[in-house]
Homo-oligomer: A and B are copies of this chain.
Amino acid sequence: MDAVLQALADESRRTVLEILRDHPASAGELAAALPIARPGVSRHLRVLREAGLVDVRQDAQRRIYTLRPEALVEVDEWLGPYRRLWESRLDALHTEIARGKKARR
């Protein structure tokens, strides 16, 4: 969990994920899509790899990265207890609005 959130805290890494959400991509492709140089991207990819957010497969000289969305399940689960809270708040808000409408009649 910690590794995943740590990885997500950097925008460049989130961008990588967004690209991989569409299709697998080589390290070079990803580097081309980011405003930083290749070695930096390489390190970003390492972080994502170690956090379990991506998989790599080798194709001759190229390394093809693919998304492993399962890793985000952890975040989703962490969110669970908070989700209940904000949902009940939203419910309260809706009730309030409904009451407001009634009162305004």
Contacts and interface: CB of A to CB of B under 8 A. Distances in A.
Interface residues of A, number: 23
How many copies of the shown chain assemble into the complex? Answer: 2
Interface in A36-72: 67, 69-70, 72
Contact of A75 (B67, B73, B75): B75
B2 A5 contact: no
Nearest to A75: B79
A79 to B, nearest CB: 6
Interface in A1-42: 2, 5-6, 8-9, 11, 17, 21
A83 B76 contact: yes
A89 B75 contact: no
